[in-house]
Structure 1
Amino acid sequence: MEAISPKFPSGVRAGVAITYDTDMAGGYAPDGVCHGRTAPFLRDYILRLCEVAEEYGVKFQFFQIANGLEDDEVVSHLKEVLSRGHAVDCHTYSHLNLAYTPPDELEGDLELAGRLFQERLGFRSRILRGPGGYRHGELPEANQRVILRHGYRWVSGEVDYDLHGGGWEYAVSSPSRGRPFTYPTGLVEVPIQGFTDRMWFEGEKMADGEAYEKWRREHGHRPVPRGWRPPWTSPDALEGWTKLNLACLDYAYEHGLLWVVCWHPYSHYLHDPEVSVLRKFLEAALSKPERVWVCTMREVVGMLGGGP
């Protein structure tokens, strides 16, 4: 596996790719099924994220489960996101794990996803976000070839699961690990670096698993009232999430690194309805003495010497 180093534009010291997986998370679903038929309350929250991006002059990367493209309202929503200058790429058709799904099943899923992107959005995605994640070295060659056959040269699904129990310094230094690399097949992996919001709120900061399961079964995939807070996380969860991301940003800046983050609008809708973390993060990134480039995954591909 051959490592690839990003080539930042002139004047850029560090880069942060803010990527959002837009799915209706299975972990919040009464039936445990993850899908892309984005509910109205989550579409509204995604547009709030876009509004914040416009305030700060940045663009985000969104990854869409393609079965949502069978819904006209979701398609209209995504076209609005695209019209605002953000990037949208594929998160498979049905949220299949790229590493642990049999090649023939993955083949059918990606065929359908590609057709829907072309028919409903007018383009074929060339960057694939891997649902569920997988460890380094666990994406089989046969599955890599399926992915390449469907036009994806760039994939982002590798996750560092050693973050759980790794300690603060290990978490903060995440931008230094999981660097982009090329598999022998020619497929390029751009790993997710650091905690995802789901790993943090429903993993590291889980305080009451019974409360989580009860809420999921009784209220999942429905809007929550104003002022509501998740009863399953520790009281310091949101503050800790803010602190961690700002510390990772400082680390990436100090060392001149590209940092690829993976967040979920649904997770932030529940845990950060005021969008406070994103605002603080962008304020910190854009106030550095030297430029931090907040970019999309498509722009990352450009930095790595390719194009979607």
Structure 2
Amino acid sequence: MTANAQDEKEAAVTTIREMGWLQGDIVSGADLADHIPQAAVDGVLGGKLPSHWVLISHSCSIHARAYDQAPMVEWIALKMMKKKPLGAYLNSNNPRILQLQLDEKLIFEAKIERRIWTPRSVLQSLKRNEHQKLDSEMIQTLSYWLSHSYNRIAIPDKLVERLKFRNGENIYIGLGVAIDSFLSENAHLLKGAWISFYPKEELLDATPYSVAFRLLIKPKHAAKLNELNTKLQEATNLDASEIEGLDIDECLITPLQDFTMLDAEDFTHYNSSDWLSLAEEDEGEGEGEGEGE
């Protein structure tokens, strides 16, 4: 490597650090046009640039002191849409699609496969979009979604069959369906959902699984805790035929700060859309969609 090339890399690192680039920063869709191969535009983006990009590399990588430690940075496409969010796509519930609510009827939508890489040095020539920004809670949600997007809950198949199954009319029923519906309707108030179950292995006989659901309310909506808990109890008050093979320890909404590390050891993050996401995507695709500016 020539001295000039090394100097350019060191200068790029300094400039990027001074510009303060961080995970969650947004640029306009056209800003990366000159830095993305046409093959990526066609193959990953369906031939069309998105309305925006969000930087998803970890901030420590963006600011790595040696350029060659992190020569590339990663972006994910954001589609601005004038529509109400779908609850199943909020709060990292869906491993493939994330919606971030900007306003009552304005969202950013990200799909996990719509990701590209550019040289880190490109950041020097870019400007953040000052009209559209993610707040700290949105960035936290985005980061969590990215880190868990390919992880599925390790729930035994026999437990899944007891949580969600078809009745005689070929309609899905069960405790899992009731929880999923509640999460979809109240996703804007909740930070996430967790499930605990025992035993952890497949049960081949009629022995019941003990299950507990813990839903976490966002601090700013804490005043609605009792009201939401009442609604949750009503939603999960099911006929015996719908909870056969289950011993329900609890279905409870608690303040986010009351969910401790000890709880996290016993509970698993619950992605409701792991079960229903494909159907929901087919039904919701195209409804009320329209790109914002």
Report TM bin, short chain: under 0.3
TM-score by length of 1: 0.21
Compare CA radii of gyration and give the structure with the larger one: 2
Higher relative contact order (CA 8 A, sep 6+): 1
Higher-strand-fraction structure:
2
TM-score by length of 2: 0.22
